[in-house]
């Protein structure tokens, strides 16, 4: 069953991290533009046990039903499926993230993934692809915002 048909709701607040140089509130290192680019593709939103429980309670279905309908198992881990359009099954272009308030930690971390904070070339590719990352922010400033 397609969750896009089942649920409606609004996306929560914007997320953002302000550069130390920009504490006046003029610019941020990252401010989500809600474009959905990070929700696209066969990536790997793996779920922790507490996340499957939290999301299934939010959807008001059993954990088993949630895993069966919206997840797939790969290499012994549960991952959220993508739809035929290759977006996360919980992403709707009009309603956006339909589980925003209980989204998995890996979604919450975006774009401050450890791998991006360790490799400048990967970060540059991500910065160029993600409209929410401030193009004027340096790699070092971005790492500082993430506490690295």
Q: Using one digit for the tens of pLDDT, what is the confidence trace for 28-67?
A: 889 888 889 999 987 779 999 899 999 999 999 999 999 9
Q: Residue 76: how many CB atoms within 10 A of its CB?
A: 5
The percent helix, strand, coil of the chain (3-state, each to 5) is 40, 15, 45
Question: Residue 45 and residue 90: Cα distance in Å, rounded?
Answer: 12
Average model confidence (pLDDT) across the chain: 83
State pTM to two decimals: 0.74
Are 25 and 34 in contact, with CB atoms under 8 Å apart? no
Q: How far is CA 118 from the centre of its chain?
A: 19
């Amino acid at each position: 069953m397609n969750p896009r048909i089942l649920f409606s709701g609004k996306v929560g607040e914007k997320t953002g991290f302000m550069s130390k140089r920009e504490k006046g509130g003029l610019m941020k290192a990252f401010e989500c533009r809600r474009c959905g680019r990070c929700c696209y593709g066969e990536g790997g939103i793996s779920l922790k046990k507490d996340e499957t429980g939290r999301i299934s309670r939010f959807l008001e279905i059993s954990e088993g039903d949630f895993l069966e309908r919206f997840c797939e198992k790969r290499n012994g881990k549960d991952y959220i499926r993508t739809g035929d359009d290759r977006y996360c099954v919980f992403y709707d272009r009009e309603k956006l993230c339909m589980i925003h308030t209980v989204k998995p930690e890996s979604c919450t971390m975006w774009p401050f993934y450890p791998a991006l904070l360790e490799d400048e070339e990967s970060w540059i590719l991500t910065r160029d692809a993600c409209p929410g990352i401030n193009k004027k922010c340096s790699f070092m400033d971005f790492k500082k915002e993430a506490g690295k």
